[in-house]
Amino acid sequence: MQPSSPPAEPCGITALGVYVPERVVTNEHFASYLDTDAEWIESRTGMRERRYAAPDEYASHLGVGAVQNMVARDPEALSGVDLIVCATGTPDALFPSTAALIGLQVGLRGVAAADLSVACSGFAYGLAFAKGQIAAGLARRVLVIGTEVLSKRVDQNDRGNAILFADGAGAAVVGPVPDGYGLGEFVMGADGSGGSSLFMPGAAPQLPDGTPMGEYADMNGREVFKFAVRIIPESAQQVLTKAGLTPADVDWIIPHQANIRIIEAAAERLGVEMERFVVNLDRYGNTSAATVPLALDEAVQDGRIKDGDQVLIVAFGGGLSWAACTLRWWGGGRSFGAGAAAGGQP
């Protein structure tokens, strides 16, 4: 009989940082030129305002801001980082990777770096990749970033999409934590048959199924809503079962911040009260791969998430994709700094 491998050393989030641009865009902005009104937007989405990047700000700039915010909180946060994973659907370029561009600017030149293109599921995927690389012995500490400038890739005259998407970034270092804490189980998936419901144009003029792609990102809101209200509770329950947990064991749920109605439907199907969901889409809108770290950081900063709390992260996005994971929070008694995002106070 072959000897069994030793259990993987536990790893979790050891540092956090966030960044949102300074420009605040309210619902009244859209009401001023689109066939809509501020109250309608809030009632349908839960959003009141969001942040837009400046004309000369791109995904790498926001990502650098999040990492700088992390280092301002903890000057040793990046010590030993040997891999950078950047989740973004709005990269500065297809190559060089946005991860490499960020690494160069934050003092990590020469560190392995790669981008993930999983839209709103990206940060949760990034945490899974980080844990896998650490467990395989290929990395010791991984910098995971979610950064987006969706305002630049959405048609601002499209009422259905312009009101939803926004810009922001979050960063986390995944590294060793004490036994009993850190990242637990993961569930991930993707279904390309739903790709035409939510896509960002690339090099091809159309998707393989013939769906034409123009200049901007596009979403079939009705189809994505139906997908989301099914996949969030389904993947959440799957990962909880895998971890030997029930919804009652979860202290806080960090969902992708797409629409308040989606989150409310998920809460009902899971049988979890809304008070246990961390929600900040009213102030930031849908920042895709950045929503989860922005919400997680806020709940850590304001003291809701404490050492030992059981956290559930669940997200969905283009692909169509989905991901969920469990996380036993450990901050070592730290607040991860009292500072907020560098560009504008979240």
Instruction: Tell me which residues are annotated as active site.
Output: 120, 256, 286
For tokens 């790498």, what's the residue?
60
Q: How far apart are CA 70 and CA 73, in angstroms?
A: 5
Is 343:196 a contact under the CB 8 Å cutoff?
A: no
Q: How far apart are CA 289 and CA 256, in angstroms?
A: 8
Radius of gyration of the chain (CA): 19
Is 16:69 a contact under the CB 8 Å cutoff?
A: no
Residue type, 243: A
* Residue 294 parent element (H or E): helix 291-301
CA geometry: angle 93, 151, 161, nearest 5 deg:
120
Nearest residue to 68 via CA among 145, 131, 167: 145
Q: How many CB atoms lie within 10 A of CB 248?
A: 8
Q: How far apart are CA 255 and CA 253, in angstroms?
A: 6
Going by C-beta distance under 8 Å and a sequence separation of 6 or more, which residues neighbour residue 271?
247
**Structure tokens, 130:** 């980080």
Cα-flanking dihedrals φ and ψ of residue 256, to 5°?
-60, 135
**Structure tokens, 217:** 């990102």
> Coil, helix or strand for 113?
strand
Q: How far apart are CA 175 and CA 276, in angstroms?
A: 26
**Structure tokens, 220:** 């079939």
| Secondary structure (H, E, C), 314-332 | EEEECCCEEEEEEEECCCC
